[in-house]
Chains A and B, each alone.
Chain A
Amino acid sequence: MTQLTPGSPLPEDAVPGQPGGPSGVATAARPDEGPAARPAAGWRLLLDSPVNVVSAVVLLVVLVVALLGPALAPYAVNAVDVPAALQPPSGAHWFGTDDLGRDVLSRTLVATRVSLQVAVVAVAFALVVGVGAGIVSGYAGGWLDTVLMRLVDVMFAFPVMLLALAIVAVLGPGLTTTQLAIGIVYTPIFARVARASALSVRVEPFVQVSRTMGTGHALILRRHILPGIAGPVIVQTSLSVAFAILSEAALSFLGLGVQPPRPSWGRMLFDAQGFLSQAWWMAVFPGLAIFVTVLAFNLLGDGLRDVLDPRQRSLLRTRRLLRAHRRAGVRP
């Protein structure tokens, strides 16, 4: 069962939904080819693409804004100024003002932190729980694997937003619930990715030999399994943060996520909904903030996959080589 949710990896080289096939779509990097072996080469490949560089720079800016938000904001986020309500963008208010006269730019800047915080905490939760379960499942096999994977199947049967909504219904809206709900929703994806990688590493001859020679489970885990799954998990993390930001925005838009007076992009878009015909700026700018941040995470995730996936990687190397040859005047 595969779900094309915004959160499942979007593979360039795998087709989803093949019944009976292995769950998960990650391609495990062989440990000896992984980025751990030659980190410098990996970085060079990553920074070779202008798209990756731009994405990284954008994310760096977003991170700075998240850290310094209130200091960068020209106005206090909740400074109500009713006479100045619904003003279009101007020199005084670059992004205009909302229905209460609050500065949209300031609110957009300050909201960056909470969006990133929710996404990062949620994905960290999903990563720890999911990867843990996935490794145990893939490495141990047997009935434990069956039980855990059926559990993952059950979780995949719930559409992402619906499961998040159900969790919020149970625990009540708020910041902690939002983080937990999104974290739970994204856990099975990490479990599948980690399991698929752990499985493929486990059957490698060098792991089998190591096992036969009496190497302990902990050492095999540290030396072979973890480096093997690092690549796919890093890629999945970048993509999941992107979609976690979208999920948080959706929950906050519905009034079930981050609660006022704390500004959030999703909530700002909800406030804009009632003024679409009067104040386009209320909807356009917070939405752009979400879009640009998510796009940067997605593009970087794609770039990371190209570098961390051995098949794509050799392709990239070949292209590099061809370019270098051309520059040097060598006909390939």
Chain B
Amino acid sequence: MTLARVARFLGRRVLHSLVVLLGVLVVVFALVHLVPGDPVRIALGTRYTEEAYTALRAASGLDRPLAAQFFSYLGGAVTGDLGVSFRTGQPVAVTLLERLPATVSLAVVGLLVALLVALPAGIWSGLHEGRLSDAIVRVTSQAGVSVPDFWLGQLLILGVAVGLGLLPTSGYAALTEDPAHWARHVVLPGLTVGLVAAAIMTRYIRTAVLDVAHAGYVRTARSKGLPAAVVTRRHIVRNALIPILTITGIQLATILGGVVVVEVVFAWPGLGRLTYDAVASRDYALVQGAVLLVAALFLLVNLVVDVLYSLADPRIRLS
């Protein structure tokens, strides 16, 4: 019976994600049609010639009826065909896959930095509510939330790269090709992404710990005489880990979609930098593809997090 319940929960959750994904697809498809004027003409700009216009219009399928265009976009997206770039003529999917590893590797480093900072800070602050150390953590995290990430990147460049001459300001090599080069270059953007994320995560982790610390079973554990360290470890931290898992997953998704400006600051050739270039050069097919990919990744991570959450905490699917 419980198994059936789990299956029903999973089914409902997957269905919901698919519905949202379809909505995302509609919005992304509509993007190019909302461009005031003729998107092909705008995309061509100064390179406009009659032949180039006809060719690009046909290649992008914009000469066909709207419904036909939508279903062919939908069909293409399902099979991994996202059309061709307005600018380079390359398949959009290929370009996106080339850039994906850079963004994912940066996001993972950022998340690790965030966890290293936010886990101890958030748990400590939650366990010491109202004390001076709690106040310091809260103020620091509030400051971290208020810092523009690209400015933090610039400050790190100023301090670490320019001031101390320790690390390169920008550059990239794939992790698989030259790990040492990659590692030297990922530190500053990773810190930038990670510290901002840490500020947000610290607040949520603190809240998660506080919620558990005020729960009835914690009071019971204390009043039956368990040592404080045992209560903290076995009852508070372990139970708080469930919401912390959720927060971590959501933060990973948020970082994946939020690294645009940091990638520009550090000339990091990921999806964000690609999207920025595509917007600047009016390459609508590429903008569509990038937005669709990141939104889909975001939904996927959210789905995985929800499923893990429900597996870790049976109360969720029963309620």
A295 CB, nearest partner CB in chain B, Å:
4
Interface membership of B295, Cβ < 8 A: yes
Q: Is the CB of B247 within 8 A of A157?
A: no
Q: Is the CB of B243 within 8 A of A1?
A: no
By beta carbon, the residue of chain A nearest B21 is: A157
Q: Which residues of A contact B34 (CB under 8 A)?
A: 170-171
Q: Which residues of A contact B31 (CB under 8 A)?
A: 166, 169-170
A160 CB, nearest partner CB in chain B, Å:
7
A: number of interface residues (CB 8 Å): 59
Q: Is the CB of A269 within 8 A of B151?
A: yes
Pick out which of these stretches binds chain A: B94-102, B175-183, B221-229, B299-307: B299-307
A52 CB, nearest partner CB in chain B, Å:
13
Interface of A is mostly: helix
Q: Is the CB of B145 within 8 A of A171?
A: no
In chain A, residues 239-257, which have Cβ atoms closer than 8 Å to a Cβ of chain B? 242, 246, 249-250, 253-256
By beta carbon, the residue of chain B nearest A301 is: B142
- 20 A-B pairs (CB sep. < 8 Å): A4-B204, A10-B145, A11-B207, A12-B207, A15-B246, A17-B302, A18-B309, A157-B299, A158-B298, A159-B254, A165-B276, A249-B150, A249-B151, A250-B149, A253-B150, A256-B279, A283-B151, A283-B155, A283-B158, A298-B145
Q: A4-B254, A15-B246, A283-B154 are in contact. List 7 more A-B contacts (CB 8 A).
A: A5-B254, A12-B203, A15-B208, A20-B319, A158-B294, A166-B28, A291-B148
Interface membership of A71, Cβ < 8 A: no
A165 CB, nearest partner CB in chain B, Å:
5
Q: Which residues of B contact A254 (CB under 8 A)?
A: 260-261, 264, 276
B: number of interface residues (CB 8 Å): 76
In chain B, residues 153-174, which have Cβ atoms closer than 8 Å to a Cβ of chain A? 154-155, 157-158, 162, 169
Interface membership of B57, Cβ < 8 A: no
B90 CB, nearest partner CB in chain A, Å:
18
Q: How far is the CA of A115 from the CA of B35 in the complex (A)?
A: 26
Q: Which residues of B contact A249 (CB under 8 A)?
A: 148, 150-151
Which residues of A come within 8 Å of B, CB atoms? Answer: 1-6, 10-20, 150-151, 153-154, 157-163, 165-166, 168-171, 242, 246, 249-250, 253-256, 266, 269, 272-273, 276-277, 280, 283-284, 287, 290-291, 294-295, 298-299, 302
Q: Which residues of A contact B284 (CB under 8 A)?
A: 169
Q: Is the CB of A246 within 8 A of B148?
A: yes
A181 CB, nearest partner CB in chain B, Å:
11
Q: Which residues of A contact B157 (CB under 8 A)?
A: 276
B33 CB, nearest partner CB in chain A, Å:
9
Q: Which residues of A contact B253 (CB under 8 A)?
A: 3
In chain B, residues 285-319, which have Cβ atoms closer than 8 Å to a Cβ of chain A? 287, 290-291, 294-295, 298-299, 302, 305-306, 309-310, 316-317, 319
Most buried by B among A10, A13, A20, A162: A162
Q: How far is the CA of A95 from the CA of B69 in the complex (A)?
A: 54
Q: Is the CB of B316 within 8 A of A19?
A: yes
Interface membership of B200, Cβ < 8 A: yes
Q: How far is the CA of A325 from the CA of B291 in the complex (A)?
A: 58
B300 CB, nearest partner CB in chain A, Å:
10
Q: Is the CB of B204 within 8 A of A169?
A: no
In chain B, residues 180-239, which have Cβ atoms closer than 8 Å to a Cβ of chain A? 200-201, 203-204, 207-208, 210-211
Q: Is the CB of B20 within 8 A of A153?
A: yes
Q: How far is the CA of A2 from the CA of B258 in the complex (A)?
A: 15
Q: How far is the CA of A277 from the CA of B158 in the complex (A)?
A: 7
Q: Is the CB of B24 within 8 A of A158?
A: yes
Interface membership of B85, Cβ < 8 A: no
Q: How far is the CA of A295 from the CA of B20 in the complex (A)?
A: 34
Interface membership of B27, Cβ < 8 A: yes
Q: Which residues of B contact A283 (CB under 8 A)?
A: 151, 154-155, 158
